[in-house]
Amino acid sequence: MRMYDLIEKKRDGFELDTDEIRYIISEYTNGNIPDYQMSAFLMAVYFKGMNKRETLDLTMAMRDSGDILDLSGIEGIKVDKHSTGGVGDKVSLVLGPMVAACGVPVAKMSGRGLGHTGGTIDKLESFEGYSTTLSEEKFISNVNNIKIAIASQTANLAPADKKIYALRDVTATVDNISLIASSIMSKKLASGADAIVLDVKTGSGAFMKEEKDAITLAQEMVSIGNGAGKDTIAIITDMDQPLGYAVGNALEVKEAIDTLDGNGPDDLIELCYVLGSYMLVAAGKTEDADMARVMLEKVVEDKSALNKLAELVEAQGGDKSFVYETEKFSKPSIIMEVPSVETGFVEKIDTSDIGAVSLILGGGRETKESEIDLSVGVVLRKKVGDKVEQGENIATLYANDLNKLSLAKDRLLNAFCITVTPAKAQPLIKWIVGKNGVKRY
Ligand code: URA
């Protein structure tokens, strides 16, 4: 086989067979296909697309390019949750302990944040001493002992995706449904879960700004997951405003703790109940989503989910007292309120701008190598639909650097669109995408 011929075949709009796709992925991962040929191939895929069979083959080839976690040592059905990324998305920190407290094993490999979206691993490092690197044995024994482990992805999980993603990033080929879906799903399938619940975000803070694109991506990922023999479902959810109020690592962890303690924002807890219900059903805890919700509500009410978070922190070397004494989280030197310049109703919040506020303050990474400041970020005081008076605070900024603060404040004020007519927020949960089709929630 010659890479030249395969580039030509895809460029001319023909379908590649399974062996050809596997050849491209394994030879590129091994360094036998140069970046310039792979770039040309990715551009051909970008323009000519891949059908469902090709996309599944591509995903399986990338999954098989490295280690596949063997979770068979963990008792029960393992269900993973994946979010396509958003601003203020601290769902895993709430949902993981809730589901584990219901007796379902949570064996989660998570990532770090890049750009305006945060990563669960960075957030967990806000707990003093928390170790995000666990050996496979320790990861498995923690899940068996306390039902939950959350660790960073091992270096050799889907290495083809790492290499290809870096190339897509610099060749304007990120934005293609087959390439995005195979990239995400290759890592999920290598993470070894039996079933997958996907949270596909749509709106101004999401990768997929348009609802129809989010649905197409969800359909592709659901088709890959089920095609690979894993029970997979996707929920399309709103990212047209941040989830909850807090954006920034330690600030989000505190909000997650408040939520587990029964005092969280309505949108965050609702999303956790919906995703959690699908996870409990997929794990075989119950066949009825309403029953699953009752189980989840109970573990929040009786604090067993909150205590589960403390167990998780302790099992990974962290100081669990932070869960009960949140004032222990590191605080920045500057806390500044931002008053509204207008009176009216919040009509829109540009969510990627809110992510950028946290990034400017040092809470996110511009590049993979950037150091982040866990203590900084923003807590919104108003969300879409809220009434606001001139001079009333719309947000609080947490910073360590005065120069960055004024830039962040301007970006924040820009993100808010205030009008005189009452406005209404988008529904939080929009669509459910399963193997039998798409339905309104
Ligand atoms: N996230 C991924 O992991 N891959 C993509 O291609 C896009 C988002």
* pLDDT tens digit sequence for 221-242: 999 999 999 999 999 999 999 9
pLDDT band at 153 (very low <50, low <70, confident <90, very high): confident
Residue 300: per-residue pLDDT: 98
Q: Is the dihedral of CA 167, 56, 77, 269 positive or negative?
A: positive
Which ligand 1 atom sits nearest the alpha carbon of residue 111? 3
Q: Which helix (H) or strand (E) holds 254?
A: helix 249-260
The owner of tokens 């939080």 is 428
Q: What are 143's strand-pairing partners?
A: none
- Residue 92, CB-side half-sphere exposure with 13 Å CA sphere: 30
Ligand 1 within 6 A of CB of 180: yes
Give the burial class of 182: count Cβ atoms within 10 A of its Cβ; 0-12 exposed, 13-18 middle, 19 or more buried.
buried
pLDDT at 369: 76
Question: What separation in Å is there between the alpha carbon of 374 and the centre of ligand 1?
Answer: 24
In the prediction, which pLDDT does 365 show? 81
**33 Cβ closer than 6 Å to some ligand 1 atom:** no
Are 160 and 186 spatial neighbours (Cβ–Cβ below 8 Å)?
yes
Beta bridge mates, 219: none
The residue annotated as part of the active site, out of 161, 194, 240, 350, is 161
| pLDDT above 90 (res 416) | yes
| Confidence band for 279, pLDDT divided at 50, 70 and 90 | very high
Q: Which of these ranges, 126-140, 366-380, 397-411, 422-436, has the smallest mean pLDDT?
A: 366-380
Q: Are 146 and 308 within 8 A, CB to CB?
A: yes
- pLDDT at residue 149, as a whole number: 96
CA pair distance 7, 24, nearest whole angstrom: 10
Does residue 183's CB lie within 6 angstroms of at least one atom of ligand 1? yes
- Tell me, in angstroms, the distance from the centre of ligand 1 to residue 175's CA: 9
> Does residue 381 have an active-site annotation?
no
**Beta strand 148-152 with 106-110: parallel, antiparallel or unpaired?**
parallel
The stretch 26-33 carries a mean pLDDT of 98
Tokens encoding 378:
């923003």
How much distance in Å is there from the Cα of 183 to the middle of ligand 1? 5
Is the model more confident about 57 or about 85?
57
How far, in Å, CA of 100 to CA of 403, rounded? 43
What 3-state class would DSSP assign to 324? helix
Least confident of 155-159, 167-171, 299-303, 374-378: 155-159
Residue nearest to atom 2 of ligand 1 (CA): 184
> Of 22, 78, 81, 82, which is the active-site residue?
82
Q: Is 300 exposed, middle or buried (0-12, 13-18, 19+ CB in 10 A)?
A: buried
CA–centroid distance, 16 to ligand 1, in Å, is 22
Assess whether 10 carries a catalytic annotation.
no
Q: Residues 378, 135: contact at Cβ < 8 Å?
A: no
Give strand pairing partners of 399: 334
DSSP letter at 82? Answer: E
Catalytic residue among 92, 110, 126, 183: 183
Q: Tell me the pLDDT tens digit for each residue of 180-192.
A: 999 999 999 999 9
C-alpha–C-alpha distance, residues 42 and 163, integer Å: 12
Pairing of strands 195-202, 79-83: parallel
Tell me the β-bridge partners of 182: none
**pTM of the model as a whole:** 0.95
Instruction: Give the chain's largest Cα–Cα span.
Output: 68
Percent of the chain with pLDDT over 70: 98
- Give the pLDDT band (50/70/90) at residue 278: very high
Cα 108 from Cα 78, distance rounded (Å): 10
Amino acid (one-letter) located at 169? D
Q: What is the pLDDT of residue 389?
A: 97
Ligand 1 pocket test, candidate residues 117, 120, 161, 180, most atoms within 8 A of CB: 180
Split at pLDDT 50, 70, 90, the class of 114 is low
Cβ(59) – ligand 1 distance below 6 Å: no
pLDDT over 90 (residue 44): yes
Nearest CA to ligand 1 atom 8: 180
C-alpha span between 439 and 349 (Å, rounded): 27
Among the listed residues 300, 276, 302, 277, the one whose alpha carbon sits nearest the alpha carbon of residue 290? 277
